[in-house]
Amino acid sequence: MISPDAVVDPRARVAETARVWGQAQIRENAVVGENCVIGSGAHIDAGVVVGANCKIQNLALIYAPATLEDGVFVGPGAIFTNDTHPRAINADGALKSSHDWDSEGVTIRRGASIGAGAVILGGVEVGEWALVAAGAVVTEDVPSHGMVAGVPARRIRWVGTSGTPLDERGGRWVDASSGEVFVEEAGELRPE
């Protein structure tokens, strides 16, 4: 289902089971996977790849060359940037074009969630099942199962695949809602 007032470039590949709501824009060569929901006013830039079962909420801006793996949630108004040294003009005063800079995409791994109004800077990777809090500004990679918040964002907890914070129990991290158990090694979490 594609809303009649959505703008989908004919060169984009949108799965038949995807839903694209009003005033969303999907640019050329973008890929939107099975069962995705693209909210009103969302922008999916040229060449962005969105895996299956993703939810991109209203007014989210996903700039190329971003990649979202399966099952990613992007909250309303979130922004994925792509220029680590933004300028409108070159040193000679000439307006910059796409040939004057190298874009660095954001990568969001399987099952991760990005909160409303969060900003993810170009070149950042958000690990599997990680959770970025609403309004966070993410300037560094986020480990799998990490929950980050603040400006700049810092890890404040670990979360399970259910999205709930994990409880520490004798050096192990337990998801009370799912029963999953993890151990922490060198700043990373892995299943026990």
User: Are residues 147 and 173 located together in one domain of the fold?
Assistant: no
Q: Residue 70 domain-assigned?
A: yes
Contact 80, 120 (CB under 8 A): yes
The pLDDT mean for the chain works out to: 95
So which residues are the catalytic ones?
85
The structural domain count of the chain equals 2
**Alpha carbon distance 132, 121 (integer Å):** 13
Identify the H or E element spanning 108.
Answer: strand 107-108
User: Are residues 188 and 122 located together in one domain of the fold?
Assistant: no
User: Are residues 138 and 174 located together in one domain of the fold?
Assistant: no
User: Are residues 146 and 187 located together in one domain of the fold?
Assistant: no
CATH of the domain at 92: 2.160.10.10
Q: Residue 2 domain-assigned?
A: no
User: Are residues 172 and 150 located together in one domain of the fold?
Assistant: no
Distances from the Cα of 35 to the Cα of 61, 72, 129, 166, 168, angstroms: 19, 12, 19, 29, 35
Predicted confidence (pLDDT) at residue 48 exceeds the cutoff of 90: yes
Residue-range definition of the domain harbouring residue 170: 161-192
User: Are residues 101 and 70 located together in one domain of the fold?
Assistant: yes
Q: pTM score, two decimals?
A: 0.94
Predicted confidence (pLDDT) at residue 170 exceeds the cutoff of 90: no
pLDDT score, position 65:
95
User: Are residues 94 and 168 located together in one domain of the fold?
Assistant: no
User: Are residues 116 and 191 located together in one domain of the fold?
Assistant: no
Note the Cα 60 to chain centre separation in Å. 10
User: Are residues 155 and 165 located together in one domain of the fold?
Assistant: no
Confidence of residue 178 (pLDDT cuts 50, 70, 90): confident
Predicted confidence (pLDDT) at residue 171 exceeds the cutoff of 90: no
Tell me the sheet residues that pair with 107.
Answer: 67, 125
User: Are residues 165 and 146 located together in one domain of the fold?
Assistant: no
